[in-house]
């Protein structure tokens, strides 16, 4: 009945899809519904019994005490039944609803885990978080309050009509007039409130963004003395929110109760007046009139609730559209966890053949890249910022797909291997070492199991991370805080190195893994790597050329292409990019050591 009027186009589908989530819990919903049915029937019978008391006992003044007591007891029982079942239906509806939201949220997070990394480039993290938390929360509203209210409201309205029809069919026909009137007021309410409520939502998201942005960049805000500017911007958003909220209160206070009541009361008065004149010809029992007015009185409550809930429903439908948009984002086909591994040759050479890759169509991040990184050898990739070094890493980890050419591991095209196998095979230390919440130990061994906790410590010792970890107040149980906030960048890199060592892969992929580590520790890392290097492939991206001096092969990248390749000695003796980089760094190092001699700080 409300559909064409209150559901915007395209939301019908979302609603249908949402309803599909109730299917696994349909028995629970059916039970909740039957509780509701009992509660509403009891509620509807009460004015009816009152009518009988008035017409049979009070008006004829017979005072049949026995009859009166039985009827009164029945009213009491009905009230108890109504309350009891009202409670039961509320609990069971809400319980089933929470199960549904729980399912949606789990499904959504599982889906997010399987999304290709490129999907995260397109959607800001904050928005993704909001999808999984806020939007599923408004779905909770839909299932926990809106749907039960709509069902209950519709049942009550139907019940009231049936009861009025049983009282007197002419009353029922006249009461039908109320329906279009009330629907019109609901419609006006929606028209007035939609822009205001949309405005509130926009303002709230502005406020959220503003807060998270300032919190993340707090040191910048304070360092540049921008507190005043940020305060002003925040005040602006907050005032906007206040203005919308005030308008919304005005509209709700007017439309939801006084106005609906007024319109309804006029209509009811007209009906009673008409009925009064009609009863001059026929006898209308006073009890009937009482029951009628009582029913009409009950009529407004579901309408008022429906007006409010339909609004929430719209918000929930918009939210669910966003949730479904995320759920419809295609996942990586290869990203299945239980696919059988492909058997590979013992030699796990990595080969790029004429590989082209672009993050955005038309701009090649890698262009005709070919190289072989032999098993057991140390291959280094150097080059200016943005030259495509991390993109090689991204392809090998299968975070992104290449567009042309072939990427082979052990002779097999990478796309024929399941992602889980690739990631088992290759251990990555990424350019931006990330820390999860939890202890250092948990961060080294992400799946933390008792027997591997020892392995975590051995790994930390191997990369010389143990010396800083043991200095921490709780050692390996130290909690480095959100994103590893209490660790320096170099310390985070050491933890990331220990993590990959504990993981025990066959191929090591290091993207600037030692860029922020002092030279002494770097030596320890190198020793650790050369210890484990036997029979293993290492591909290391490095800015500092001293790190790659002993590489078996150095690839020099520029603008997505490999422009030079060879060993350090070969490359230094040629004119070209490598030699320039080398000379520039050497000069810088000499300069630094000179300054250090003079006791000057270097930038
Ligand atoms: N997720 C992305 N979306 C769009 N473009 C990207 C993305 N990642 C990298 N690029 C672009 O691709 C090019 C190569 O980037 P890449 O990260 O491979 O450089 P890099 O050699 O690792 O640089 P750096 O030394 O600074 O780490 C750059 O021009 C960069 O702007
Ligand atoms: Mg990089």
Q: Tell me the mean pLDDT in the region 504-518.
A: 82
pLDDT digits (tens, 9 = 90+) for 562-589: 999 999 999 999 888 899 888 888 888 7
Q: What is the pLDDT of residue 210?
A: 85
Q: Half-sphere exposure (CA, 13 Å, Cβ side) for 446?
A: 10
Q: What CATH fold (topology level) applies to the domain 350-595?
A: Rossmann fold (3.40.50)
Q: What is the pLDDT of residue 2?
A: 39
Q: Tell me the mean pLDDT in the region 257-267.
A: 77
- Tell me the CA–centroid distance for residue 385 and ligand 2, in Å: 7
Q: DSSP states of 218-258 as a string?
A: HHHHHHTT-HHHHHHHHHHHHHHHHHHHHHHHHHHHHIIII
- Tell me the CA–centroid distance for residue 543 and ligand 2, in Å: 10
pLDDT digits (tens, 9 = 90+) for 1-23: 334 444 554 566 778 888 888 89
SS3 per-residue string spanning 24-59 = HHHHHHHHHHHHHHHHHHHHHHHHHHHHHHHHHHHC
Q: Tell me the mean pLDDT in the region 382-402.
A: 91
Listed range (192-206, 260-274, 332-346, 514-528) with the worst mean pLDDT: 332-346
**H/E segment holding residue 307:** helix 286-328
Closest CA to 479 of 432, 434, 437: 437
Cβ atoms 181, 264 nearer than 8 A: yes
Distance CA(448)–CA(443), nearest Å, equals 8
Q: Tell me the mean pLDDT in the region 219-230.
A: 87
**Closest Cα to atom 2 of ligand 1:** 359
Share of the chain above pLDDT 70, in %: 91
Cβ atoms 559, 576 nearer than 8 A: no
Cβ atoms 339, 420 nearer than 8 A: yes
Q: Which CATH number fits domain 3-328: 3.40.630.10, 1.20.1560.10, 3.40.50.10190, 3.40.50.150?
A: 1.20.1560.10
Mean pLDDT, the chain, integer:
83
Atom of ligand 1 lying closest to residue 384 CA: 25
* Res. 534: pLDDT tops 70: no
pLDDT digits (tens, 9 = 90+) for 282-341: 556 778 888 888 888 888 788 878 878 887 887 788 888 888 888 888 877 655 556 667
* Res. 459: pLDDT tops 60: yes
Give 28 or 282, the one with higher predicted confidence: 28
**Closest Cα to atom 7 of ligand 1:** 359
Those residues with Cβ within 8 angstroms of residue 151's Cβ, 6 or more apart along the chain or in another chain: 33, 36
Q: Taken in order 522, 526, 528, 532, is the CA torsion positive or negative?
A: positive
DSSP helix/strand/coil, 145: helix
Domain ranges of the chain: 3-328, 350-595
Q: What is the pLDDT of residue 603?
A: 42
If one counts every other C-beta atom within 10 angstroms of the C-beta of residue 365, the result is 22
- Tell me the CA–centroid distance for residue 70 and ligand 1, in Å: 84
Those residues with Cβ within 8 angstroms of residue 235's Cβ, 6 or more apart along the chain or in another chain: none
Those residues with Cβ within 8 angstroms of residue 432's Cβ, 6 or more apart along the chain or in another chain: none
**Closest Cα to atom 19 of ligand 1:** 386
pTM: 0.73
Cβ atoms 418, 392 nearer than 8 A: no
Ligand 1 interacting residues, C-beta cut-off 6 A: 121, 359-360, 365, 383, 385-391, 431
**Closest Cα to atom 6 of ligand 1:** 359
Atom of ligand 1 lying closest to residue 391 CA: 18
pLDDT digits (tens, 9 = 90+) for 410-458: 888 988 888 888 888 898 988 888 888 888 888 888 776 655 577 788 8
pLDDT digits (tens, 9 = 90+) for 537-569: 889 998 888 878 888 999 999 999 999 999 999
Share of the chain above pLDDT 90, in %: 22
DSSP helix/strand/coil, 566: strand
* Res. 590: pLDDT tops 90: no
Q: What is the pLDDT of residue 5?
A: 45
Atom of ligand 1 lying closest to residue 366 CA: 14
pLDDT bucket at 88, cuts 50 / 70 / 90: very high
For residue 382, give the ligand nearest its CA.
1
For residue 561, give the ligand nearest its CA.
1
| Mutation choice for ligand 1 from 388, 512, 562, CB with most ligand atoms inside 8 A | 388
Atom of ligand 1 lying closest to residue 121 CA: 1
**Closest Cα to atom 17 of ligand 1:** 390
For residue 121, give the ligand nearest its CA.
1
* Res. 235: pLDDT tops 90: yes
Distance CA(276)–CA(158), nearest Å, equals 25
Q: What is the pLDDT of residue 600?
A: 54
Cβ atoms 436, 478 nearer than 8 A: no
For residue 122, give the ligand nearest its CA.
1
DSSP helix/strand/coil, 433: coil
- Tell me the CA–centroid distance for residue 408 and ligand 1, in Å: 22
Q: Tell me the mean pLDDT in the region 400-404.
A: 90
| Mutation choice for ligand 1 from 389, 403, 511, CB with most ligand atoms inside 8 A | 389
Distance CA(319)–CA(314), nearest Å, equals 8
């Amino acid at each position: 009945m409300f559909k064409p009027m209150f559901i915007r186009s395209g939301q019908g589908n979302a609603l249908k899809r949402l309803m599909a989530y109730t299917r696994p819990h349909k028995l629970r919903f059916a039970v909740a519904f039957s509780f509701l049915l009992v509660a509403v029937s009891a509620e509807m019978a009460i004015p009816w019994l009152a009518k009988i008391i008035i017409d049979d006992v009070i008006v004829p003044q017979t005072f049949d005490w026995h009859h009166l007591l039985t009827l009164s007891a029945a009213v009491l029982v009905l009230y108890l039944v109504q309350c009891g079942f009202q409670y039961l239906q509320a609990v069971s509806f809400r319980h089933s609803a929470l199960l549904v939201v729980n399912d949606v949220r789990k499904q959504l997070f599982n889906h997010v885990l399987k999304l290709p990394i490129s999907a995260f480039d397109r959607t800001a993290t904050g928005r993704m978080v909001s999808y999984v938390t806020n939007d599923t929360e408004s779905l909770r509203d839909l299932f926990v309050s809106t749907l039960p209210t709509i069902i209950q409201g519709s049942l009550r309205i139907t019940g009231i009509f049936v009861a009025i029809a049983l009282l007197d069919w002419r009353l029922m026909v006249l009461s039908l007039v109320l329906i279009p009137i009330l629907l019109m007021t609901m419609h006006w309410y929606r028209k007035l409130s939609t822009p205001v409520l949309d405005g509130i939502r926009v303002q709230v998201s502005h406020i959220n963004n503003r807060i998270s942005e300032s919190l993340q960049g707090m040191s910048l805000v304070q360092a540049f003395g921008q507190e005043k500017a940020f305060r002003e911007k925040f005040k602006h958003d907050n005032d906007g929110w206040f203005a919308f909220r005030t308008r919304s209160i005005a509209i709700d206070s007017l439309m939801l109760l006084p106005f609906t009541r007024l319109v309804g009361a006029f209509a009811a008065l007209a009906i009673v007046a008409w009925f009064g004149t009609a009863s001059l010809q026929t006898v209308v029992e006073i009890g009937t009139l009482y029951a009628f007015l009582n029913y009409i009185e009950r009529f407004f409550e579901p309408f008022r609730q429906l007006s409010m809930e339909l609004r929430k429903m719209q918000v929930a439908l918009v939210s669910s559209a966003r949730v479904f948009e995320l759920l419809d984002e295609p996942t990586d086909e290869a990203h299945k966890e239980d696919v059988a591994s492909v058997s590979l040759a013992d030699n796990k050479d990595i080969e790029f053949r004429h590989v082209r890759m672009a993050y955005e169509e038309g701009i090649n991040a890698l262009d005709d890249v070919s190289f072989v990184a032999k098993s057991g050898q140390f291959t280094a990739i150097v080059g200016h910022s943005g030259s495509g070094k991390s993109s090689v890493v991204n392809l090998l980890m299968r975070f992104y797909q290449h567009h042309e050419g072939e990427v082979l591991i052990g002779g097999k095209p990478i796309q024929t291997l399941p992602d889980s196998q690739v990631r088992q095979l290759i251990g990555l230390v990424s350019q931006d070492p990330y820390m999860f919440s939890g202890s250092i130990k948990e961060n080294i061994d992400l799946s933390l199991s008792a027997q591997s906790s020892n392995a975590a410590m051995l790994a930390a010792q191997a990369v010389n991370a143990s010396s800083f970890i043991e200095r921490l107040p709780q050692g390996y149980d130290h909690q480095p805080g959100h994103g590893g906030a209490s660790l320096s960048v170099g310390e985070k890199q050491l933890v990331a190195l220990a993590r990959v060592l504990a993981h025990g892969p066959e191929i090591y992929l290091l993207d600037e893994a030692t860029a922020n580590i002092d030279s002494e520790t770097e030596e320890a890392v190198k020793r650790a790597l050369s210890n484990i290097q036997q029979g293993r492939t290492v591909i290391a991206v490095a800015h500092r050329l001293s790190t790659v001096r002993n590489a078996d092969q150095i690839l020099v990248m520029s603008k997505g292409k490999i422009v030079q390749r060879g060993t350090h000695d070969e490359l230094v003796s040629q004119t070209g990019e490598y030699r320039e980089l080398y000379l520039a760094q050497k000069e810088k190092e000499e300069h630094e050591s000179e300054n250090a001699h003079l006791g000057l700080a270097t930038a």
